[in-house]
Protein backbone atom coordinates (compact mmCIF):
# COMPACT_ATOMS: atom_id res chain seq x y z
CA UNK A 1 0.00 0.00 0.00
CA UNK A 2 1.31 3.44 -0.90
CA UNK A 3 2.19 5.69 1.98
CA UNK A 4 1.56 9.38 2.56
CA UNK A 5 4.50 10.61 0.44
CA UNK A 6 3.79 8.21 -2.43
CA UNK A 7 0.16 9.38 -2.38
CA UNK A 8 1.37 13.00 -2.51
CA UNK A 9 3.57 12.20 -5.51
CA UNK A 10 0.61 10.56 -7.26
CA UNK A 11 -1.53 13.68 -6.57
CA UNK A 12 1.22 15.74 -8.20
CA UNK A 13 1.25 13.42 -11.23
CA UNK A 14 4.78 12.23 -10.50
CA UNK A 15 5.62 8.60 -11.13
CA UNK A 16 8.99 7.64 -9.70
CA UNK A 17 11.29 5.93 -12.18
CA UNK A 18 13.56 3.04 -11.27
CA UNK A 19 16.85 4.09 -9.64
CA UNK A 20 19.57 4.80 -12.18
CA UNK A 21 22.85 2.94 -11.78
CA UNK A 22 25.90 5.16 -11.22
CA UNK A 23 27.71 6.28 -14.37
CA UNK A 24 31.15 6.16 -12.75
CA UNK A 25 32.99 4.71 -9.74
CA UNK A 26 30.70 5.73 -6.87
CA UNK A 27 27.58 4.53 -5.06
CA UNK A 28 24.20 6.25 -5.46
CA UNK A 29 23.84 6.84 -1.72
CA UNK A 30 25.55 6.21 1.60
CA UNK A 31 23.66 5.74 4.83
CA UNK A 32 25.41 6.82 8.03
CA UNK A 33 23.29 6.52 11.15
CA UNK A 34 20.00 8.22 10.42
CA UNK A 35 21.37 10.26 7.51
CA UNK A 36 21.34 9.33 3.84
CA UNK A 37 23.77 11.14 1.56
CA UNK A 38 22.53 10.92 -2.03
CA UNK A 39 25.11 11.37 -4.78
CA UNK A 40 24.58 14.00 -7.44
CA UNK A 41 21.56 13.28 -9.61
CA UNK A 42 21.15 14.38 -13.20
CA UNK A 43 18.01 15.83 -14.80
CA UNK A 44 16.37 12.99 -16.70
CA UNK A 45 13.25 14.44 -18.29
CA UNK A 46 10.66 12.77 -20.51
CA UNK A 47 12.89 13.40 -23.53
CA UNK A 48 16.13 12.25 -21.87
CA UNK A 49 18.89 14.20 -20.17
CA UNK A 50 18.42 17.96 -20.12
CA UNK A 51 21.65 19.49 -21.36
CA UNK A 52 22.84 23.02 -21.90
CA UNK A 53 24.69 25.94 -20.41
CA UNK A 54 23.41 29.25 -19.09
CA UNK A 55 24.93 32.70 -19.66
CA UNK A 56 24.19 36.28 -18.61
CA UNK A 57 21.87 36.50 -21.63
CA UNK A 58 19.60 33.97 -19.87
CA UNK A 59 19.01 36.13 -16.77
CA UNK A 60 15.45 36.90 -15.74
CA UNK A 61 15.28 40.68 -15.38
CA UNK A 62 12.62 40.52 -12.68
CA UNK A 63 13.86 37.29 -11.07
CA UNK A 64 11.06 35.24 -12.62
CA UNK A 65 12.01 32.88 -15.47
CA UNK A 66 9.94 33.59 -18.59
CA UNK A 67 7.91 30.56 -19.74
CA UNK A 68 9.76 28.72 -22.49
CA UNK A 69 13.08 30.43 -21.73
CA UNK A 70 16.36 28.60 -21.25
CA UNK A 71 16.25 29.64 -17.58
CA UNK A 72 12.76 28.10 -17.21
CA UNK A 73 14.10 24.91 -18.82
CA UNK A 74 16.92 24.84 -16.25
CA UNK A 75 14.46 25.30 -13.36
CA UNK A 76 12.40 22.38 -14.70
CA UNK A 77 15.58 20.32 -15.08
CA UNK A 78 16.37 20.94 -11.40
CA UNK A 79 12.96 19.50 -10.50
CA UNK A 80 13.73 16.41 -12.63
CA UNK A 81 17.02 15.98 -10.74
CA UNK A 82 15.11 16.32 -7.44
CA UNK A 83 12.80 13.49 -8.51
CA UNK A 84 15.90 11.33 -8.97
CA UNK A 85 17.06 12.37 -5.49
CA UNK A 86 13.75 11.10 -4.13
CA UNK A 87 14.19 7.84 -6.05
CA UNK A 88 17.60 7.22 -4.46
CA UNK A 89 16.36 8.29 -1.00
CA UNK A 90 13.55 5.77 -1.36
CA UNK A 91 16.07 3.06 -2.30
CA UNK A 92 17.96 3.87 0.92
CA UNK A 93 14.96 4.24 3.22
CA UNK A 94 12.70 1.64 1.49
CA UNK A 95 9.62 3.67 2.48
CA UNK A 96 9.47 7.40 1.73
CA UNK A 97 7.37 7.93 4.86
CA UNK A 98 10.52 7.10 6.86
CA UNK A 99 12.10 10.34 5.63
CA UNK A 100 11.73 12.82 8.47
CA UNK A 101 13.67 15.71 6.95
CA UNK A 102 15.38 16.92 3.83
CA UNK A 103 18.48 18.28 5.56
CA UNK A 104 20.62 19.79 2.80
CA UNK A 105 20.48 20.31 -0.93
CA UNK A 106 23.44 21.26 -3.09
CA UNK A 107 22.80 22.27 -6.68
CA UNK A 108 25.31 22.79 -9.48
CA UNK A 109 24.36 24.85 -12.53
CA UNK A 110 26.22 24.56 -15.83
CA UNK A 111 26.94 28.20 -16.66
CA UNK A 112 29.54 30.71 -17.64
CA UNK A 113 31.02 33.32 -15.30
CA UNK A 114 28.45 35.94 -16.35
CA UNK A 115 25.46 33.95 -15.10
CA UNK A 116 24.48 34.90 -11.55
CA UNK A 117 21.02 33.38 -11.00
CA UNK A 118 21.98 29.87 -9.89
CA UNK A 119 19.63 30.33 -6.94
CA UNK A 120 16.65 30.63 -9.29
CA UNK A 121 17.58 27.42 -11.08
CA UNK A 122 17.95 25.39 -7.89
CA UNK A 123 14.59 26.74 -6.69
CA UNK A 124 13.13 24.13 -9.06
CA UNK A 125 14.54 21.34 -6.86
CA UNK A 126 13.79 23.10 -3.57
CA UNK A 127 10.19 23.83 -4.50
CA UNK A 128 9.56 20.23 -5.56
CA UNK A 129 11.02 18.82 -2.33
CA UNK A 130 8.93 21.26 -0.29
CA UNK A 131 5.79 20.34 -2.17
CA UNK A 132 6.41 16.61 -1.75
CA UNK A 133 7.57 16.52 1.88
CA UNK A 134 5.83 19.61 3.26
CA UNK A 135 7.58 21.28 6.19
CA UNK A 136 10.04 18.34 6.37
CA UNK A 137 11.11 19.26 2.83
CA UNK A 138 12.43 22.69 3.85
CA UNK A 139 16.21 22.44 3.84
CA UNK A 140 19.51 24.26 3.94
CA UNK A 141 21.01 24.77 0.51
CA UNK A 142 23.87 25.81 -1.70
CA UNK A 143 23.53 26.82 -5.35
CA UNK A 144 26.80 26.89 -7.26
CA UNK A 145 27.80 27.72 -10.81
CA UNK A 146 30.02 25.23 -12.61
CA UNK A 147 31.98 25.56 -15.84
CA UNK A 148 30.85 22.07 -16.84
CA UNK A 149 28.81 19.13 -15.59
CA UNK A 150 28.77 15.42 -16.49
CA UNK A 151 27.38 14.63 -19.94
CA UNK A 152 26.79 18.34 -20.54
CA UNK A 153 23.71 18.46 -18.28
CA UNK A 154 22.38 21.86 -17.30
CA UNK A 155 22.06 21.03 -13.59
CA UNK A 156 23.06 18.41 -11.01
CA UNK A 157 21.61 18.11 -7.51
CA UNK A 158 22.73 16.16 -4.43
CA UNK A 159 21.04 15.89 -1.07
CA UNK A 160 21.12 14.75 2.51
CA UNK A 161 18.01 13.17 4.04
CA UNK A 162 17.22 12.19 7.61
CA UNK A 163 15.33 8.93 8.08
CA UNK A 164 13.83 7.23 11.10
- What pLDDT sits at residue 121? 98
The confidence score (pLDDT) of residue 20 equals 86
Helix (H, G, I), strand (E, B), or coil: what is residue 1? coil
Tell me if 22 sits within 8 A of 39, measured CB to CB: yes
CA 100 to chain CA centroid, nearest Å: 18
Q: What is the pLDDT of residue 2?
A: 72
**pLDDT for position 98:** 96
Number of Cβ within 10 Å of residue 28's Cβ equals: 18
Kindly report the CATH class assigned to 4-163.
Answer: alpha beta
- Domain-by-domain residue ranges, the chain? 4-163
Q: Given this model, what pLDDT does residue 95 score?
A: 93
Distance CA 30, CA 138 (A): 21
Beta-carbon count within 10 A of 116 CB: 12
pLDDT of residue 1: 52
Series of mean pLDDT values for 10-residue runs along the chain (164 residues): 88 94 92 97 95 96 92 98 97 94 98 97 98 97 97 98 96
130 CB-contact burial (10 Å; exposed 0-12 / middle 13-18 / buried 19+): middle
Amino acid sequence: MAGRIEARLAEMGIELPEPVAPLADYVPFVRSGNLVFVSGQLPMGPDGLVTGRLSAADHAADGVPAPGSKLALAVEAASFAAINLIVQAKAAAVDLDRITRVVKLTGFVNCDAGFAQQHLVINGASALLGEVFGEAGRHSRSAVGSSGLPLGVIVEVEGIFEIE
